[in-house]
């Protein structure tokens, strides 16, 4: 699988989050390049991809190997290491990378504490230095910084063939995180402007994170906090009817019935079955004591 491409693997030392971001002129890069496990490490395997570097690499890191040792062991077992390109970062911030001598030029990598960038078949050899500089010079959370690195690569010419797919995967740094926990898993398999679509989907994911926060606040009776979460969700995903629908119910229940009805009708304009959405939640017992509230909100008379 010839996923010649550019990617970044990184740790956020403040949160413990690990992430991989990648873009290429190849279909479905997200299914091949990023490999991550919370509390263990993150890997990008690319060029002429051998996914064993991802699967087995994570297992080696989980068993206590350093990225340097894990990568050396995998390369030693590979019959064609010259065509591989790999970046690894573990949960302690140790990093390692490999660019085989037979990778398509321009190809190279850079490593730092908690980060590695790698690229091959690039327009020019300034791509991966620009990625590292952008990552280190950008504020925001880990996802913001990873996307900034991809944008910097694109600005330097990126993949000489053009662009087609991109992916962003971030796993949590919580001490209680499970191996299957994921914060973001965003994949653009085929698009003319993958990074633009990545930006859109990242904002939508953040909108749904805020929506989850609203539900959690409502569950413990923190109405003001829930309304603030709903506002953030709506700002991040202004065209999402599901966010508008749940916001409408919370706003209506808070006493602002006029605005609640406006929000409900705007959700209804996008998805005419929005009222049925709420009624089925009622029927499933998920909105106890809200029967009259839902009936009043959804009364089109």
pLDDT of residue 4: 73
Query: Of the candidates 192, 220, 253, which is a domain's last residue?
Result: 192
Q: Are residues 66 and 154 in the same domain?
A: yes
What is the pTM assigned to this prediction?
0.94
> Average of pLDDT values for 233-249?
97
Element (DSSP H or E) covering residue 52: helix 52-62
Q: Which domain holds residue 13?
A: 2-192
Three-point CA angle 30, 76, 166, nearest 5°: 10
Q: Are residues 88 and 158 in the same domain?
A: yes
Does residue 200 belong to any structural domain of this protein? no
- Nearest in space to 44 (alpha carbons), one of 139, 115, 103: 115
Does residue 197 belong to any structural domain of this protein? no
**pLDDT tens digits, 143-154:** 999 999 999 999
Does residue 153 belong to any structural domain of this protein? yes
What is the b/e burial string over 264-282, where b = at least 16 CB atoms within 10 angstroms of the residue's CB? Answer: bebbbeeeeebbebbbeee
Tokens (6 digits) for 44: 């990008």
Does residue 198 belong to any structural domain of this protein? no
Total domains, the chain:
2
Based on C-alpha coordinates, what's the Rg of the chain?
23
> Average of pLDDT values for 239-250?
97
Contact 115, 11 (CB under 8 A): yes
pLDDT of residue 299: 86
Does residue 46 belong to any structural domain of this protein? yes
Does residue 29 belong to any structural domain of this protein? yes
Q: Are residues 286 and 179 in the same domain?
A: no
Q: Are residues 167 and 214 in the same domain?
A: no
**pLDDT tens digits, 28-51:** 999 999 999 999 999 999 999 999
pLDDT band per the 50, 70, 90 thresholds, residue 2: low
Q: The domain spanning residue 242 has which CATH number?
A: 1.25.40.10
Q: Are residues 169 and 91 in the same domain?
A: yes
> Average of pLDDT values for 156-176?
95
Q: Are residues 169 and 211 in the same domain?
A: no
Q: The domain spanning residue 17 has which CATH number?
A: 3.60.20.10
Distance CA 276, CA 283 (A): 10
Element (DSSP H or E) covering residue 273: none
Residues 6+ apart with CB under 8 A from 128: 6, 108, 109, 110, 117, 118, 119, 122, 153
pLDDT of residue 301: 52
> Average of pLDDT values for 195-205?
98
Q: Are residues 117 and 234 in the same domain?
A: no
Query: Of the candidates 192, 219, 235, which is a domain's last residue?
Result: 192
Q: Are residues 141 and 235 in the same domain?
A: no
Q: Are residues 94 and 228 in the same domain?
A: no
Query: Of the candidates 158, 192, 226, which is a domain's last residue?
Result: 192
Does residue 174 belong to any structural domain of this protein? yes
Position 127 pLDDT exceeds 80: yes
Q: Are residues 9 and 124 in the same domain?
A: yes
Residue of higher predicted confidence among 174 and 152? 152
Contact 229, 217 (CB under 8 A): yes
Residues 6+ apart with CB under 8 A from 11: 17, 18, 42, 89, 90, 91, 93, 114, 115
Distance CA 105, CA 290 (A): 63
Q: Are residues 267 and 165 in the same domain?
A: no
pLDDT of residue 234: 98
Does residue 188 belong to any structural domain of this protein? yes
Three-point CA angle 202, 204, 197, nearest 5°: 55
Portion of the chain with pLDDT greater than 70, in percent: 98
Distance CA 20, CA 46 (A): 12
**pLDDT tens digits, 68-100:** 999 999 999 999 999 999 999 999 999 999 999
Q: Are residues 46 and 151 in the same domain?
A: yes
Position 138 pLDDT exceeds 70: yes
Going from the C-alpha of 103 to that of each of 64, 73, 124, 134, 199, the distances in angstroms are 29, 20, 14, 24, 29
């Amino acid at each position: 699988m010839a996923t010649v491409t550019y990617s970044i693997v990184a740790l956020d030392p403040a949160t413990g989050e690990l992430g991989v971001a990648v873009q290429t002129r190849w279909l479905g890069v997200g299914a091949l390049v990023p490999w991550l496990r919370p509390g263990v490490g993150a890997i990008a395997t690319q060029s002429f991809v051998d996914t064993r570097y991802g699967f087995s690499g994570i297992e080696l890191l989980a068993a206590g190997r350093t990225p340097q040792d894990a990568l050396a062991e995998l390369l030693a077992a590979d019959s064609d290491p010259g065509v591989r390109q790999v970046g690894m970062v573990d949960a302690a911030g140790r990093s390692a990378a490999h660019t085989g001598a037979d990778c398509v030029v321009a190809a190279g990598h850079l490593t730092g504490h908690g980060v590695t960038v790698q690229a091959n078949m690039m327009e020019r050899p300034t791509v991966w230095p620009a990625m590292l500089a952008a990552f280190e010079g950008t504020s925001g959370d880990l996802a913001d910084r990873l996307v900034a690195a991809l944008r910097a690569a694109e600005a330097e010419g990126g993949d000489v063939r053009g662009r087609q797919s991109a992916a962003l995967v971030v796993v949590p740094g919580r001490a209680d995180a499970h191996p299957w926990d994921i914060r973001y898993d965003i994949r653009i398999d085929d698009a003319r402007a993958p990074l633009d679509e990545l930006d859109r989907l990242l904002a939508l994911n953040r909108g749904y994170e805020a929506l989850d926060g609203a539900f959690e606040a409502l569950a413990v009776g923190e109405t003001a906090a829930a309304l603030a979460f709903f506002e953030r969700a709506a700002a991040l995903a202004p065209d999402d009817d599901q966010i508008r629908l749940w916001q409408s119910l919370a706003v209506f229940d808070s006493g602002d019935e006029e605005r609640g009805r406006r929000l409900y009708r705007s959700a209804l304009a996008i998805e005419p079955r929005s009222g049925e959405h709420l009624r089925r939640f009622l029927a499933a017992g998920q909105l106890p004591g809200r029967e009259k509230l839902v009936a009043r909100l959804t009364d089109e008379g």
